[in-house]
Every structure is written in structure tokens, then in C-alpha cells.
Structure 1
Amino acid sequence: MKRTILFLILTSFLLINACGPSGPSDNEKLRAEVIAVHDEVMPKMGQLKSLERKALEKAKELESQEEANSAAVEEYKALAYDLNHAHESMFAWMRQYEQKDGEMKEAEVKAYLDKQMELVTEVNVEMKAALEKADKLLK
């Protein structure tokens, strides 16, 4: 009798564990990857604006000189534009990104997250390129 009860308890325990959650789904993993790409460059948002101001100041300084080099001025203005565009691109991505799946089916969520991965990767690359360009030009 004791063995039967022990067997039933053990079997119940195994069934409960077998039916429980088996870990994060593919979509949950993909969502985490999207956020990881975002989180990689998000802390550099303030740096973008700071470098943009420096580039504009340098352009203004060069313009005020009698022998102003217009190519150099345009280069600094272009850098400021790139830095501002990268900053705005991140905010644009964040505004349109949906945290919740809502009424979407699994396949729709996957397609959405694949597209978001593509978009946030573009923003990531743009930010890194602008920062690298600023590092070369302003230092």
C-alpha cells in the first residue's frame, strides 16, 4: 500500500513537472536579443548630443576665422548632422517599438521581432559609425 501511494505521488510529481513551462520561447529569446542590441548603444545617447555640440562649435569657430576652410566647416557640420540623426533614429525606433504582443499570433510576433531586429541593428550601426567618425574628427 505504501509503495502504491509513493508511486502515485512520484508519478503526479513527474506529470506536473512535464507539463510545466519548458523555458523561454523562441520569440522571448528573440525579444531579448532585440533589447540587447538596443541596450548596447543606449547609454551613449548623451555622448551623441555632447559630440554634436562640439562639432557645431568647431564649425562655428572655423567659420569665424578670416581664412576659413569651407571644406573643414562642412565636414564638422556633416558630423553634427550624422550625430543628431543617429540620436533621433534611436528615439524613432523606441517610439514605434511595441513591448507587448497584443492579439498577434506566434508567427506574427516572430515576423514583427525579426523586423525590429533589423531596424534596431541599423540604428546600432548608425550610432557606432557616427561615434567613430566623431572620435577621429574631434580628437
Structure 2
Amino acid sequence: MKFSTGFLFVAMIFLSFACGPNAKEENQKLRDEIIAVHDEVMPLMGELKSLEKEANSKIEELEAAEMPDSTKITDLKALAYDLNQAYEGMFVWMRQYEVEDGDLTDEEVKAYLDDQMIQVNKVNDDIKAAMDKAEVLLSN
């Protein structure tokens, strides 16, 4: 009986050390992936604002026309809103993102980073969707 208890104790210690560094490495890899998603779309922020200004300019032109196209104006207002929300979404995400793990366990860090990956991917998707919409609406 002493042998099996001692063996289990040694095995548990071994497993705890064996899992520790891997969890930290995996968390760092996940953190790197999150930053890569951020870095992919961050350079587009200026273009988002330019497209929003262009949409607002077209809205003003259409509203000043003798016979304004209310459907086009509505579409452009929705576009300007989407572009602004995509822009703001990036900065909201960046402000709440924690780069330090603090006192969190590896499991808590993993859960946090999994959630952050979902959030930054949504930011990425929102930016790309708004830009795709702008390409269609502003080219007409």
C-alpha cells in the first residue's frame, strides 16, 4: 500500500511539473495569435475613418440634391454607422485587453485568452464586413 501511495504522489508531482510549462507556452501562443489578429486589422483604422467621411460626404450631396434618393441615403447612413462602430470596437477591445496575467492560474489565463480570441475575431470580422460594404456602396 505504501508503494502505490508513494508512486501516486510522485506521479502527481511529475504531472504537475510536466503540464506547467506547456500551459504557459500554449497561453503565450494563444496571446500571440490574438495580437496577430489585432495587427492584421489595426492598419485599416485610418481607412475606416476615411470611408466614414466619404459616406457622410455622399450623404450630404444626396440630401442637397433636388430629388434626394432616400434609399441610398439610408444605406449610406447605415454604412457610416457600421464603419464608426467597427472603428470604435477596436478601441473598446484594446482598452479592456489585459497583457499581464496577474495572479491568474494557467487555466484562468487560458479561459480569458479564449474569450479574448472570440472578441478580437469579432472586431476583425466587423471591420472587414464594414469595409466590404463600403466598397459596394461607395463605388456607385
1:13-56, CA deviations, whole angstroms, 9 ceiling, x for partnerless residues? xxxxxxxx88x700000000000111110000000000000000
Larger radius of gyration: 1
Q: Which runs of 5+ in 1 are unaligned?
A: 1-20
Q: Residue 39 of structure 1 aligns with which residue?
A: 39
Question: Alpha-carbon deviation of 1:137?
Answer: 1.1
Q: TM-score when scaled to structure 1?
A: 0.82
After TM superposition, give the deviation of residue 72 of structure 1 in Å. 0.6
2:130 counterpart letter in structure 1: A
Corresponding residue for residue 4 of structure 2: none
2-side partners of 1:59 and 1:47: how far apart?
18
Q: Where does 1:4-43 land on structure 2 (aligned, <5 Å)?
A: 25-43=25-43
Q: Percent identity?
A: 58
Q: Hey, what does 2:101 align to over in structure 1?
A: 101
CA RMSD of aligned residues (A): 1.3
- Equivalent residue pairs, number: 118
Q: Distance in 2 between matches of 1:75 and 1:54?
A: 13
Match of 1:133 in 2: 133
Instruction: Give structure 2 stretches of 5+ with no counterpart.
Output: 1-20
TM-score, length basis structure 2:
0.82
The ranges of structure 1 where at least 4 consecutive aligned residues each deviate by more than 2 angstroms after the TM superposition are none
Alignment partner of 2:120: what SS?
helix
